[in-house]
Amino acid sequence: MTMTSFAVADGNLAAADAPQSLLRMAVGTEVLAVPIEQVREILEVTRLTPLPRTPSFVRGVMNLRGSVVPVLDLAARLGLPDSVIGRRSCIVVVESGSTAGENETDETAAEDAGSLVAGLLVDAVFEVFDTTATGIEAVPALGTRIAPDLMSGMTRAHGKVIGLLALPRVLSRAELTEMIARHAAH
């Protein structure tokens, strides 16, 4: 019989050692993870329909069993060099329900309401691994190549530090719409 430790935060009792499954993947030279419950499927890179007048991080759209799904180059979206499609490249289809952040207005939160299904072009997918809430640390303000506000934490696997993506922030409808509109104005 195993014992689970509990942490009390803001009066709520939560299982601090409850495992959280994460998908570990390569994005450029970075190793990142996303919660597996937000991953719908992992696909080979197939034909994408490019969209005119969009920034480089919008690779296009794909047909996923009759639904049109936008595909974003995750490296470019995170401010890294654009991905080059290779033998191990794949599209991780994720579903992210956006929530209002600390600096978002109620109007912005309303625009982000609901879930967004998108394909993320990544360089490779490695594995699903487990960590615990106590195994996730805060993102340092300095020293990361990815903006700290696009990550929800840092964890470790195989002796390496791995950034945990904040998908609601990475896939914020309001921010993506603004970035695309700024690009189209040029």
- Biggest distance spanned by C-alpha atoms of the chain: 63
The reply to whether 1 falls in a domain is: no
Count: domains in the chain: 1
What pTM, to 2 d.p., does this model score?
A: 0.81
DSSP conformation letters of 69-86? EEEEEHHHHTTSPPP---
- Cβ count within 10 A of residue 26: 17
Q: What is the pLDDT along the chain (186 residues), one digit of tens a residue?
A: 334 333 444 444 455 678 899 999 999 999 999 999 999 999 999 999 999 889 999 999 999 999 999 999 999 999 999 999 999 999 999 998 744 444 444 444 444 456 899 999 999 999 999 999 899 999 988 878 899 999 999 999 988 999 999 999 999 999 999 999 988 776
The reply to whether 9 falls in a domain is: no
The reply to whether 12 falls in a domain is: no
CATH number at residue 43: 2.40.50.180
CA distance 39 to 94: 4
The reply to whether 5 falls in a domain is: no
Range of the domain at 167: 20-184
The reply to whether 67 falls in a domain is: yes
Question: Going edge to edge, which strands form the sheet with 67-73?
Answer: 39-44, 90-97, 115-122, 67-73, 58-64
